[in-house]
Structure 1
Amino acid sequence: MRQRQIDWPTFIGAFLLLLAVTLPLILFPEEGKEIVGKANTFMTTNFGVLYLAMGLIVFAFLLYVAFSKNGHVKLGDEGQKPEFNSFSWAAMLFAAGIGSSILYWSVIEWVYYYQGPPFGLAGESTEAIQWATAYGIFHWGPIAWSIYTLPALPIAYFFYVRKRPVLKVSEAIRPVLGGLIDGPLGKIIDILFIFGLLGGAGTTLALGTPMIAQGVTYLTGWPVTLWLQAVIMLVCTAIFAVSSYSGLRRGIKLLSDINLWLALFILAFILVFGPTRFILETTFNSLGILLDNFFKMATWVEPFGDIGEFTQTGFPEAWTVFYWAWWLVYAPFVGLFVARISRGRTIREMIFGTMIYGTLGCVLFFGIMGNYGLHLQLTGQFDAMSHINEFGAPATIIAIISQLPFPGLMVGAFTILAIIFLATTFDSSSFILASVAQKEVENEPLRWNRLFWAFTLSIMPLALMFLGGLDTLQTASIVGGFPLIFIMFLLAWSFMRASNHDINASDNYESPTIYIKRGKKKKKKRSPLEVLKDQNPDPPDD
């Protein structure tokens, strides 16, 4: 009976697509890398404007929804309280949406902006410092979390309001595409989502595993080898497999809570024992730069590059467009997960909660960790720029953390946090992948299904890591995720169409009862028989 719950075409199709992309990269790594690299360059160069426009449109759309009547719709029944308290809810959505990548980039992203700043500025100049402290917060800020939040709207609406026990991207656009979703088109949409998530997960592994290995090397003296990284990856797999197997409440929630408390401890330690005044002032200044130049940063595409005296820097394509494409690949997964954990909240609470909690967390990481590294560079205590050019980013990250008081303790805590961050992202991923591969999900997907995707998430990247093709899989997933731009607009259209219909069609007896948070409950819909009795209060004469 349980086997009938599996959506086998989606399950098998996604796995075969992953094999179809992975095996050629294993057999022909150099040729595959070249082809995927050219495809990525073509996409980011020719469609960069489309990605940036998508980011701004999604951001504006969510603000509109939050303040409209649609934003007051409650995800659940009248009087139902949120399934998770705000702390655990924020911890789960942040851990799922960010993962260990935030530890990687928050510490050293400023180095790349300082050396190669935007807007044609001179590298390592005073102006470059200003932008280096602000651009990381921009890339991981409101637009990123808006892209994450949009898919959550229709998915949560159909799951909790219309009571459809299906957690699929295809199901969320049924009001627009109708019965086409039940055919090959719906399967293709879900398969592309799973493939994009698997490749995006490979990106997280590609960044997190070498960084964790450097931390282990600092603590133990063991050399960084592929085998050490493989053991680390398997340990992380075991952690998130157990967490995913335990379920949403006992596993993922607990791990996310631990993750957030440890992160807050490390951030507080750096703030207190590091250059406190410099960190606070620089972060505050960065927020001012961001607010003053938000639309400039969100729309800059170098239209005059290589024309006349202008020189093409490639900054928008290498950073902003790439980030928007990366967020887009992860968006359906994060949206599905946020939708699943948001029962009892209103649409407005889900939108602002995700955008504010997510952005605030990234501001803390970039503001505290990033500006601590920048302070070391400017004061001459540690030359992060030379170190990264000579030894690479993972070694530089651990070297920066080791400049703190009690270096052994802090590097150990940082390494453990990276492992937990990696695990929380992957257990959330396996949970959602298993949900998409099932026809219906009443409470949680089947355990064996969760475990299958937990190991699939690591086995394929593990094989590619030994062959040096992990970055290629990441790039391939981003290229393959290009159609998600159009799916995002379908998701927005679907949500508005369904929610407006249910809110306005109050006399339609077939519509579900909508509960809107306005200080008092909305008047319940009445059946056609009740309406008829009101129109004819006296019974007809015989």
Structure 2
Amino acid sequence: MNRKLIDWPTFIAAFIILLGVVVPLVIFPEAGTEFVNKLNTFVSGNFGFLYLLMGLGVFFFLIFVAFSQNGHVKLGEKDEKPEFGTASWAGMLFSAGIGSSILYWGTIEWAYYYQGPPLGIDPSKQQLETIQWASTYGIFHWGPIAWAMYCLPAVPMAYFFYVRKKPIIKVSETLRPLLGGVSDTFIGKVVDVLFIFGLLGGAGTTLALGTPLITSGITDLTGLEDTMVLRTAILLGVTAIFALSAYMGLNEGIKRLSDFNLILAVFLLIFIFVTGPTLFISEATTNSIGLILDNFFHMSTWTEPFANFEGFKETGFPESWTVFYWAWWLVYAPFVGLFIARISRGRTIRQVIVGTIVYGSLGCLLFFGIMGNFGLYLQLTGAYDVVSVLNDQGAPIAIISIINQLPFAKFMVLIFVVLSVVFLATTFDSSSYILASVTQKEVEDGEPERWNRLFWAFTLCILPLTLMFLGGLGTLQTASIVGGFPLIFIFFLLAWSFMRASNGDLKADDKYRRKTIVLDYKKIREKIRQRRMKKKGTREQYNDETNDEKNE
């Protein structure tokens, strides 16, 4: 154990912030909730448009980078092959970026839009539009813009780690071309701690969200009562799995768990697609793709500026859903970006950008298209009233009830529960791995210290465990979203820093190549001159010898 490698100010500050969120919520739960909710209303109500513009800007910035000369840069040596195969790479980035949340929202999100549709649609008068957008909006929220936000931090971090050979994986280090020596000061520490706060909040929320879902599945399978003791045991069990995976490392633990996760997910999706309403799922998903392509810019920028005027009704949909999701992706992005950067050695920047956006969006499309439309089909045909169960008994029970409508119901619930556990584990072994990396001064051989990985694995368990007892999950989720507001500006700095560094390096390389070409040209000319002189000398010598013979 090498304690000298640890960045103790960042390590201690991150842990203090964790306690600073948990302790007040324990002592003053009602006052803390009220304060955070007011702050959230202020931020989302007054600055929601910034989140929307930021999402759209990030997407088009990355498309530009991918197909510019910067996109040709390889993350590593020029002849180096990718560290991981494409399937494993795609599986790891998807598992880290989504987790069990895709099982939760992919199955049930349509039901919320079915009751409260977007774009000012009246569900009592515009039923067809309500159904179409209920099937579509989840795919949009979990689509290209979400994965572009994940990818933006990955590009500069991977560039500095693999191209500039910096042995540090930190946001502050990535901003060094702009901040210079300021990256080593208090400001640099604040940037890193802001990232950690967002990660702790977002990760804690996902873990606390996934645990009731797993509990509902186990209750359905075993008949055990859904109690806090059972939820605590499940949370600790999942924590032990991802702690072990993180402790084993990237190749031995995280990769293998992600590969298993990918196989299980593909099996579940194929089973639902084949045994469920295959034609309806196919047509509804295709229709959703068309709606998104036709309305992409409108959906990406939709606000309700006229809601306060007479004759217009305010729905609050943009703030409650799109702004919320963009903010959630934002607080998760530095962590997912760091992880994508770490697993992308040997790939070009273009491959990282295109692969992340395409594979990530495609994976979410399959989950929402297959699982979501299966639930919608049950509702529309009257085979099962999902909406009533959701409103009366909650989302976890509604989700398990949907899975119970499949053939071999209990077996499929078991598969669903196992997949939920593995999804949670793959997300949080990645989280603890990255937290350990960020709190170190250097990452030797690409791997943070094992004890550090283990520490953060169990630390991630503290927040959701506390919140499950207090029932304050929404407060943490809201707090992490508000805390992620400064990341909008940090994202801008990350993009600027990358362009300055990569363009500078490309110019230097181009200048070196031109200089090399000039030098090579001079060398070639010199060789030609020497050969000519040699030939000339040989010819002159031959003429002299001939003249001597004639004279004799």
* TM class by smaller structure: over 0.9
User: Does residue 212 in structure 1 map to residue 214 in structure 2?
Assistant: yes
Of 480, 493, 498, the match for 2:496? 493
- Which 4+ stretches in 1 moved above 6 angstroms? 530-538
Task: Map 1:118-267 to 2 at 5 A.
Answer: 118-123=118-123, 125-267=127-269
| Separation in structure 2 between the aligned mates of residue 38 and residue 227 of structure 1, nearest angstrom | 32
For 1:150, what is the secondary structure of its paired residue? helix
* 1:354 equivalenced with 2:322 (yes/no): no
Residues 73 and 346 in structure 1, CA contact (< 8 A), matched pair in contact too: yes
Matches within 5 A, 1:343-382: 343-382=345-384
Q: Is the 8 A contact 1:255 1:420 kept in 2?
A: yes
CA contact (8 A) 2:269 2:367 kept: yes
Q: Deviations over 1:463-508 (max 9, x none)?
A: 2211112321221111111100000000000110000000012377
CA contact (8 A) 1:244 1:431 kept: yes
Counterpart of 2:436 in structure 1 is 434
Q: CA deviation at 1:527?
A: 12
Instruction: Report if aligned partners of 2:214, 2:417 keep a CA contact under 8 Å in 1.
Output: yes
> What CA distance in whole angstroms lies between the structure 2 residues aligned with 1:120 and 1:305?
10
- Amino acid of the residue matched to residue 481 of structure 2? I
- Whether the 8 Å contact between 1:26 and 1:469 is mirrored in structure 2 is no
Q: Report the Cα offset of residue 206 of structure 1.
A: 2.3
Provide the C-alpha distance between the structure 2 equivalents of 1:486 and 1:148, rounded to a whole number of angstroms: 15
Q: Is the 8 A contact 2:202 2:477 kept in 1?
A: yes
In structure 2, what is the Cα distance between the partners aligned to 1:161 and 1:197? 26
Contact 1:507–1:527 (CA under 8 A) maintained in structure 2: no
Establish whether residue 478 from structure 1 lines up as the match of residue 481 from structure 2: yes
Distance between the aligned counterparts of 1:373 and 1:79, measured in 2?
48
Provide, for residues 350-408 of structure 1, a one-character-per-residue CA deviation record: whole Å limited to 9, x for no partner. 00000000000000000000000000000000000111010000000000000000001
For 1:503, the equivalent position in structure 2 comes to 506
Higher-helix-fraction structure: 2
Relative distance call for 1:307 and 1:427 in structure 2 (3 A) is same
Q: Which residue of 2 aligns with 1:309?
A: 311
Superposition deviation, residue 177 in structure 1: 1.1
**Residue in structure 2 matched with residue 103 of structure 1 by the alignment:** 103
Q: Establish whether residue 24 from structure 1 lines up as the match of residue 27 from structure 2.
A: no
The residue identity in structure 1 corresponding to 2:233 is V
Per-residue deviation, 1:181? 0.5
Aligned 1:78-117 pairs, distance under 5 A: 78-117=78-117
What's 1:52 paired with?
52
Deviations for 1:148-195, whole angstroms, at most 9, x for unmatched residues? 000011100000001111100111111111111010011001011111
Bigger Cα displacement from structure 2, 458-467 vs 247-256: 458-467
Instruction: Report the 3-state secondary structure (helix = DSSP H, G, I; strand = E; otherwise coil) of the residue aligned with 2:509.
Output: coil
CA deviations 1:126-167 (Å, max 9, x no partner) are 110011111000000000000000001110000000111110
Structure 1 pair 457–275 and aligned structure 2 pair: CA distance change class (3 A): same
Which one is further off, 462-471 or 307-316? 462-471
> Within the alignment, does 1:459 sit opposite 2:462 as a pair?
yes
CA distance, structure 2, for counterparts of residue 46 and residue 218 of structure 1: 44
Please state how far the C-alpha of 1:246 moved relative to its aligned partner: 0.3
Larger radius of gyration, structure 1 or 2? 2
Secondary structure of the 1:78 match is coil
Task: Report SS of the residue matched to 1:404.
Answer: coil
Cα distance in 2 for residues equivalent to 1:461 and 1:133: 30
Query: What does the per-residue CA deviation read over 1:199-235, in whole Å, with 9 as the maximum and x for residues that have no partner?
Result: 0011101210110000000000011111111111000
DSSP-derived class of the 1:505 partner: helix
| Structure 2: runs of 5+ lacking an equivalent | 528-552
Per-residue CA deviations over 1:61-88 (Å, capped at 9, x if unaligned) read 0000011000010001021000000000
- Does the Cα contact within 8 Å between 1:97 and 1:334 map onto a contact in 2? yes
Query: CA–CA distance in 1 between the matches of 2:176 and 2:521?
Result: 33
- The residue number in structure 2 matching 1:397 is 399
Q: Which moved more, 1:172-181 or 1:239-248?
A: 172-181
Larger CA deviation: 361-370 vs 116-125: 116-125
Q: Distance in 1 between matches of 2:524 and 2:473?
A: 69
**Contact kept in structure 2, 1:65 and 1:71, CA below 8 Å:** yes
Give 1:460 deviation, angstroms. 2.7
- Partners of 2:463 and 2:391 in 1: how far apart? 30
Matches of 1:44 and 1:244, distance apart in 2: 35
Task: Provide the C-alpha distance between the structure 2 equivalents of 1:375 and 1:77, rounded to a whole number of angstroms.
Answer: 51
Asked whether the equivalents of residues 55 and 324 of structure 1 are also in contact (C-alpha less than 8 Å), the reply is yes
Residues 315 and 447 of structure 1: is their aligned pair in 2 closer, same or farther, counting only changes over 3 Å? same
Contact (CA 8 Å) 1:206, 1:471: kept in 2 or not? no
| CA deviation vs aligned residue, 1:301-341 (integer Å, no higher than 9, x gap) | 11111212111100000000000000000000010000000
CA–CA distance in structure 1, aligned partners of residues 521 and 117 of structure 2: 70
CA RMSD of aligned residues (A): 1.8
Distance 2:85 2:510 in 1: 35
CA distance in 2, matches of 1:527, 1:187: 44
Cα distance in 1 for residues equivalent to 2:30 and 2:14: 24
- Structure-2 separation of matches of 1:94 and 1:164: 26
CA positional deviation for 1:118: 0.9
Counterpart residue number, 2:549: none
CA distance in 2: counterparts of 1:227 and 1:168, whole angstroms: 38
Q: 1:79 to 1:390 in 2, by over 3 A?
A: same
1:312-327 mapped onto 2 (5 Å cutoff): 312-327=314-329
Separation in structure 2 between the aligned mates of residue 532 and residue 70 of structure 1, nearest angstrom: 28
After superposition, the Cα gap between the structure-2 partners of 1:526 and 1:479, relative to the gap in structure 1 and judged at 3 Å, is same
Contact (CA 8 Å) 2:208, 2:467: kept in 1 or not?
no
Compared with structure 1, are the counterparts of its residues 13 and 536 closer, same or farther at alpha carbon in structure 2 (3 Å cutoff)?
Answer: farther
Distance 1:393 1:534, change over 3 A: same
2:421 corresponds to 1:422: no
Once residues 376 and 156 of structure 2 are traced to their aligned partners in structure 1, the CA distance between those partners, rounded to angstroms, is 42
Cα distance in 2 for residues equivalent to 1:405 and 1:507:
62
Distance 1:380 1:483 in 2: 46
Unaligned runs of 5+ in 1: 510-522
User: Which position in structure 2 is the counterpart of 1:512?
Assistant: none
Aligned mates of 1:460, 1:370 — CA distance in 2: 29
Q: Counterpart of 1:75 in 2: which secondary structure?
A: coil
Letter in 2 for 1:339: A
Q: How many residues align?
A: 524
Amino acid at match of 1:284: T
Residue type at the aligned position of 2:488: I
SS across alignment from 1:79: coil
AA of the residue aligned to 2:204: G
Q: Whole-Å Cα distance in 1 between the matches of residues 273 and 421 of structure 2? A: 22
Check 1:384–1:507 CA distance in 2 against 1; reply closer, same or farther (3 A cut).
closer
* Aligned partners of 1:507 and 1:526 also within 8 Å: no
Separation of aligned partners in 2, 1:409 and 1:468: 31
Structure 2: distance between partners of 1:154 and 1:378: 46
Is the 8 Å Cα contact of residues 22 and 466 (structure 2) preserved in structure 1?
A: no
